[in-house]
Structure 1
Amino acid sequence: MAKRSGSYKKYLEDGTERIPKRTRNRWKLAKRRKEAVPNEENNEDDDSLQNVPWVFIQNTYANFPFQSWELKPQGQDTAVFTINGACINISIIVQGHKCMLQTQGEKCLSHFVGKWMSSTELQRAMQDTGINIFVNEFTENYITTYGKDPLSEHSAYEQMALFSSTCAFSWSRWNAQCGPEHLVMQVCEHLSSGPVPKDHWCLYLLGAQRSQKLRISESSETFSSDHYPGTEFHSTFIHMLQDHMSAEGITQTRATHYLFVDTVQSLLCATRPLIYA
């Protein structure tokens, strides 16, 4: 039960200049409410202010599952990570070891949108504002996932981060149909800062034992694990990618700074788009 504060008449008699304006306004509002709604059971003559606690309830997992996602390079040690959530679409620019949030139409985020900060600081600022796109140990209890192998999933994030300066990665609808032992995503080399042409995307199948380029496309009618004609199987995803990259792309990848790789990987592991989209 909320407690009542003591009478404030004596403060008004002593002089209101000592009382903060905000407090005086609250007292006046409380008095008007009391006069507008008489309380027969309340026989107190003194005006009093009732402190009422306010509770804000937030749906932590409102943005799950994600509708789609994309990790696109913007030059050396620069990339844009975009997530289209159930309630909000956001883009995080990664440059070196710093991150910057970009979004439209969200005035409540104006205090940190467009400001560079570390990955940890950005995650904390977004969560404090109510933008929850980051997973925790309880997320799987509330959101249905594809039940992917966690070792394969996190290995994929590591390898995606290594090539995120030169390769674009994106959501694929076939990831939900390839089974728990495999992952499917769209990938292509992308050395410019513009959007990725739709006909440049290729599908890749990742597993614990091998990775391969798929014959099907995102618009195919049914899923098939048949590999693309003329391509080989590889034990790791990055070796699979190198088979289809230009010399310029490989050189740029090898020059990627480790802090940029670490920052991209931390965002991927914090959002886990391969099982929550």
Structure 2
Amino acid sequence: MGEGQRLAELLTRSQLQNNDQAEETCPRLQESVCGVAEAAVVSATVVHRLHKCEHAGQHSECAMHRCLNACTRKLREQKKGLQQVTYTLKGQSVNMPLPAQLQPVDFWARYQPPPPPEPGQKRLPEDIEAELRKQEQELNELALISIELPDNVLWFEPPTVVRWDGEKGFWSTEDCHDTKFNEDKQVITFRLGRFGPIGLAAYRYFNLPYQSWEMKPDLKNGGIILSITATVVIVEFHIKGDKVCLNALQNGATNALQDIVGTYFKPYFLIKRMKRGGVDIFPPVDAFCYVEGSAPKHCVAEDHLYHCMAHASSVYNFAWSRWNLLAGRRNMILQMREYLDRRRLANHSTLHATPLKATLVDCTEFSQSFVSEVVPGLKFYADLYHLLQHQASPQAKKIMKDVSYSQVHTVHEMLQKTRVLSYS
């Protein structure tokens, strides 16, 4: 307190002759007074005193006082950001200033997982126990985090914990250790060596390829039923007009997406809701690069065949064939039959479609090997629609002629998004 008063009185008694001298003298005292003010040595009375400067001919504040006022305002702002919190420690009350608002704090604890033992290496139980104890001590230095998984998403495998790396600009598993997943409680626990935005990653194509699929007309309620048996889930769509609904969803670990079962949407919105819910059975064009066991087909011929199937979906039943997977890129094989009366259903015929033609082959699902010989009596047909114009019954031709275009478009869109021929 005495040093601050001495400096202030020394400056008050000084007689400055001109502005140049004032600009030269005040900055020299500014550093000393700033240090005193930041150390809380200068009292409030000294800070607010005015210095009589003769060079201006009136009372004004010199550079010293401006510096003191700035330091005082800074100290007041720092004090304003704190709040006093009283704690009881060993029977005594202790006042502790805490920040009124959350402040970011850097945290980084390095952890290197121990390497796996070399093949054939023998270790004593004491060495193993000591190593485990050391590893546990190192893990205790990391932050322990538990997250309850959202109940609106289906998880088919334990998610991978990732952290956003702002410096590199991508998600990374670095500094994420000791992950444990409780499937019954849907809780994931892990340790983190560095804080930041955290995400849970899952394999997008977990339900690809499909095990089987089937599309048939709904003779009772009208519309088209498309059923897909994926790797885990069993999904059933009901297509009616220009809308589609999720008619059934089986084998889910939770009740996610059950709230939209039976509700009709435009195909785009239903696909979006299912993807957000973790059921992604809508592979993009490059999905075959990441899915083992897929059989990508000729894209133009596949899309054209979907058009023909959509046009005949009101009267024909199409289904998966086990010969399709190994048939090759330019060969698409599926089962088909007329579906007009459940009581009188014929056996499936095997359709073989290529970019050049469509025909029925003399082969069934129970044949020992695939036979590409054409059924006797069939002529050349350019595509499936051309084939049905000559092979379908008169009743089926009439229904196909009066079919709703909006429904044909919706069926084609669902077949195009699921790509049942390339992933089954």
**Could you say which structure has the higher strand fraction?**
2
Deviations 1:111-130 (A, max 9, x none): 21111111111100100101
1:149 lines up with 2:149 in the alignment: no
Cα pair 1:78 1:94 within 8 Å, conserved: yes
1:215 lines up with 2:359 in the alignment: no
Gaps of 5+ in 2: 1-80, 86-139, 142-194
3-state SS of paired residue (1:165)? coil
1:244 lines up with 2:352 in the alignment: no
User: 2:376 corresponds to which residue?
Assistant: 229
User: 1:132 corresponds to which residue?
Assistant: 280
User: 1:274 corresponds to which residue?
Assistant: 421
3-state SS of paired residue (1:143)? coil
Structure with more relative contact order (C-alpha pairs < 8 Å, separation 6 or more): 1
Aligned residues: 232
> 1:140: how far off?
1.9
Cα pair 1:77 1:257 within 8 Å, conserved: no
Percent identity for Structure 1 against Structure 2: 28
Deviations 1:94-119 (A, max 9, x none): 01111110223641112211111111
> 1:251: how far off?
0.6
For the aligned residue pairs, the C-alpha RMSD in angstroms reads 2.5
More moved, 141-150 vs 215-224? 141-150
Instruction: For 2:308 and 2:343, locate their aligned partners in 1 and report how far apart those are by CA, in whole Å.
Output: 22
CA distance 1:99–1:196, change in 2 (3 Å): farther
User: 2:309 corresponds to which residue?
Assistant: 160
3-state SS of paired residue (1:175)? coil
> 1:84: how far off?
0.4
Gaps of 5+ in 1: 1-5, 11-38, 41-50
3-state SS of paired residue (2:214)? strand
The TM-score, its normalising length taken from structure 2, stands at 0.51
Instruction: For 1:195 and 1:126, locate their aligned partners in 2 and report how far apart those are by CA, in whole Å.
Output: 35
Cα pair 2:207 2:230 within 8 Å, conserved: yes
User: 1:72 corresponds to which residue?
Assistant: 216
The residue type equivalent to 1:224 in the other structure is V
Instruction: For 1:104 and 1:271, locate their aligned partners in 2 and report how far apart those are by CA, in whole Å.
Output: 17
Cα pair 2:232 2:251 within 8 Å, conserved: no
1:88 lines up with 2:226 in the alignment: no
Instruction: For 1:251 and 1:60, locate their aligned partners in 2 and report how far apart those are by CA, in whole Å.
Output: 43
3-state SS of paired residue (1:213)? strand
> 1:147: how far off?
3.6
Cα pair 1:74 1:191 within 8 Å, conserved: no
Instruction: For 1:55 and 1:195, locate their aligned partners in 2 and report how far apart those are by CA, in whole Å.
Output: 53
Deviations 1:8-55 (A, max 9, x none): 987xxxxxxxxxxxxxxxxxxxxxxxxxxxx99xxxxxxxxxx98552
> Which of 253, 256, 260 is 2:400 aligned to?
253
> 1:150: how far off?
1.2
Instruction: For 2:378 and 2:229, locate their aligned partners in 1 and report how far apart those are by CA, in whole Å.
Output: 32
Deviations 1:42-71 (A, max 9, x none): xxxxxxxxx985522221100000001111
CA distance 1:74–1:235, change in 2 (3 Å): same
User: 1:17 corresponds to which residue?
Assistant: none
3-state SS of paired residue (1:122)? helix
Instruction: For 2:396 and 2:390, locate their aligned partners in 1 and report how far apart those are by CA, in whole Å.
Output: 11
CA distance 1:261–1:196, change in 2 (3 Å): farther
Instruction: For 1:272 and 1:229, locate their aligned partners in 2 and report how far apart those are by CA, in whole Å.
Output: 31
3-state SS of paired residue (1:174)? coil
User: 1:104 corresponds to which residue?
Assistant: 250
The TM-score, its normalising length taken from structure 1, stands at 0.77
Instruction: For 1:132 and 1:196, locate their aligned partners in 2 and report how far apart those are by CA, in whole Å.
Output: 36
Rg comparison, structure with higher value: 2
Deviations 1:124-171 (A, max 9, x none): 010010101001143122014324211111111111111111111111
The residue type equivalent to 1:93 in the other structure is H
